[in-house]
Amino acid sequence: MTSTHRCFQAVLLLALTMLLLAGILHMDVGLFIPLLRSQAEGPPIVNVMFLKTHKTASSTVLNILFRFAETHNLSVALPAGSSFHLGYPWLFLARYVEGSEPQGPQQRFNIMGNHLRFNLPEVQKVMPNDTFYFSIIRNPVFQLESAFTYYKDSVPAFRNAESLDAFLASPWTYYNQSVGLPNAFARNNMWFDLGFDNNARANDEGYVRARLADVERQFQLVLIAEHFDESMVLLRRALRWRLDDVVTFPLNSRSVRSVAPLTAVGRERAQRWCALDWQLYQHFNRSFWVRAHAELGPRLLRAEVARLRARRRELRERCLQDGTAKNQSQIADPQLRPFQSGQADILGYNLRQGLDEQTQRMCERMVTPELQYMARLYALQFPEKQPKRLAFLE
């Protein structure tokens, strides 16, 4: 008997059992329809490419992929040499991956998720043909505010602006288009990460529609940062992973004191300034909810989100000292201190003391910052190579 037949029989038995229970308990059979519809068949997907956009909760998503790769002994397409990104902000080339061979058969990897500027033909050189592609986007008003705080000292367009509101009041005073790539974070950064021109005309409807169609064709799923838990439900369903595979603690997040919300006028200006990102966000926010309701329905979606949040609460109590995120000065283990950038106060975690070995390993993976986790995977995957140096920990 094939696995498909066994799976079909199991689903049929589940359906008959529910119908029987419904009759005995006088329950509405319709309550069970979404549950039956939610059953995903087949083995978990192990070939996954995640386009890690900037300041969109993407570090939290990358932690999911790193954990899955380490747990299942999968290969990861990691930045070559001492690099911490895959050639960003230049368009991705296969040679930016450690282990990529310019001559002869190209090595393929299971997981890819470090920062890169999307270039599908080159990505396909290092990822298998059956790879699942997904990304995440965020309301560009909040994405821009986070980028301004995080990259204040490194982006030319931001350096001389007293605040983001001041920048948006007169953006061309600060933003020099001829500077090129170094200013990518200052305008339509998600559009740029997708491989498109972030200075293109947003009122060119034909161009915008064509690029949105490109994203729909190239990515099987686009997550929404503002609806992170619902996104995790859809991602888990698409990948056929376990619940614990997608339970996370927020990583690379800022303290409240380093968040500077825009004024109402500033928010309107941000939408106009990042009009390409705004159209991207509106389009995929709509399609996200169409998909969620078509695949799960509102009732089951709420139930799955509740189950995810309950498991997160349980793991927070089990793993975290005080159950909360801490600023850098409060983190006891240097290896768990996140990289700090610009004016952002990036939070991290302390683990509870006295955890058993298995729980310690699970919890540590969930709270390990992105750069430390990448360096660890690099050392495991390429033990013959020089380890990646994390100067901020020295």
**pLDDT tens, residue by residue, 260-313:** 999 999 999 999 999 999 999 999 999 999 999 999 999 999 999 999 999 999
Residues 36-65 have a mean pLDDT of 88
Question: pLDDT at position 101, please?
Answer: 75
Tokens of 28: 């509405």
Angle of helix 357-367 versus helix 58-71 axis, rounded to 10: 140
Which region holds residue 324: left if phi is over 0, alpha if psi is between -120 and 50, else beta? beta
C-alpha 280: how far from chain center = 16
Local structure of 203: helix, strand or coil: coil
Question: pLDDT at position 340, please?
Answer: 94
Residues 372-386 have a mean pLDDT of 97
Residues 366-372 have a mean pLDDT of 98
Q: b/e string for 293-314 if b means 16 or more Cβ within 10 A?
A: eebbbeebbebbbeebeeebee
Q: Name the residue among 141, 120, 253, 274 with its Cα closest to residue 202.
A: 274
CB of 79 within 8 A of CB of 94? no
Question: pLDDT at position 103, please?
Answer: 65
Question: pLDDT at position 107, please?
Answer: 85
Q: b/e string for 125-150 if b means 16 or more Cβ within 10 A?
A: bbbeeebbbbbbbbbbbbbbbbbbbb
Determine the length of the chain: 394
pLDDT at 16 over 50: no
- Would strands 221-224 and 132-137 be described as parallel, antiparallel, or unpaired? parallel
Please enumerate, as own/partner, the contacts of 256-263 that have beta carbons within 8 Å and a separation of 24 or more: 257/345, 258/149, 258/343, 258/344, 258/345, 259/145, 259/149, 260/145, 260/148, 260/149, 260/163, 260/164, 261/145, 262/141, 262/145, 262/164, 262/165, 262/168, 263/165
Tokens of 371: 């750069």
pLDDT at 17 over 80: no
pLDDT at 23 over 50: no
pTM of this prediction?
0.89
* Residue with the larger pLDDT of the pair 102 and 201: 201
Question: pLDDT at position 342, please?
Answer: 87
Tokens of 232: 């995790």
Residues 137-153 have a mean pLDDT of 97
| Distinct helix (H) and strand (E) counts, the chain | 17, 4
Residues 92-106 have a mean pLDDT of 84
Residues 246 and 320: their CA atoms lie apart, in Å, by: 17
Q: Average pLDDT, whole number, for the chain?
A: 91
Question: pLDDT at position 106, please?
Answer: 72
Each residue's pLDDT tens digit, 332-364 = 999 999 999 988 899 999 999 999 999 999 999
pLDDT at 388 over 50: yes
pLDDT at 2 over 50: no
Question: pLDDT at position 105, please?
Answer: 66
Partners of 223 in the β-ladder: 136
Question: pLDDT at position 42, please?
Answer: 87
Q: Which pLDDT band holds residue 394 (cuts at 50, 70, 90)?
A: confident
Residues 80-105 have a mean pLDDT of 90
Angle of helix 275-295 versus helix 297-319 axis, rounded to 10: 100
CB of 391 within 8 A of CB of 274? no
Residues 185-196 have a mean pLDDT of 98
**Residues near 164 by beta carbon (within 8 Å), at least 6 away in sequence:** 144, 145, 148, 260, 262, 266, 270
Q: Which pLDDT band holds residue 245 (cuts at 50, 70, 90)?
A: very high
